[in-house]
Amino acid sequence: EYAIIRSEIRQFSPAPIGSGIVVMIGGSDLNQVGESIALRLADAGKYVYLVQGPVTNENYAVGLPNVTVLRDPKNLESCMASCEWAVTNGGGSMMEMMCLGKAVHVVPQTNDELLLAQIVFNKGALLGIGLDSLRVPCSEEIVEVGKRARELVDGRGVDRIIRLINRIYSD
């Protein structure tokens, strides 16, 4: 309820279910798993948009016809809003996708991301956590998990934080 979501994301929220899977593992893909995730989903017959963040060490070189690599795209928010579902790390990207009402599978990069993802997963608002459990969900699951995600992250976190601060100063 206190997630800070960029206005560029909030303008698209809630977003309808689109097409393709967005894979974005943070700005750096610390554990270099983005490419393998994209290949796994492409092998399952899905179209994948693999987002390469601005500080990724090596360029993704997938070379499959159903995987498009987007290198630090200027229209990232639009790509996020127009996908069917997503695979992200467990930080800001996860929260932004949730605000859009997207079903998300999380591949955490850090222990903190794992802890946050577990809380969200236990509330039924994630498809799964980790590489081992990554799978293509059915359409009903995409709809239901996306709905729960949007209920948890509605994009009004900043307003709630400001109200709390105002209460502190007015007491």
Closest to 70 measured CA to CA, from 108, 130, 78: 78
The pTM is what? 0.91
Count Cβ atoms within 10 A of the Cβ of residue 162 and give its class: 0-12 exposed, 13-18 middle, 19 or more buried: exposed
- pLDDT for res 57: 65
Tokens linked to 69: 């690599």
Cis peptide before 14 (omega within 30 of 0): yes
What the block records as the tokens of 105 is 């599978």
Count of residues for the chain? 171
Residue 46, CB-side half-sphere exposure with 13 Å CA sphere? 24
Task: For residue 2, give the DSSP letter.
Answer: -
Tens place of pLDDT for every residue, the chain, 171 residues? Answer: 889 999 999 999 999 999 999 999 977 787 888 889 999 999 999 999 999 877 766 777 778 789 999 988 899 999 999 999 999 999 999 999 999 999 999 999 999 999 999 999 999 999 999 999 999 999 999 999 999 999 999 999 999 999 999 999 987
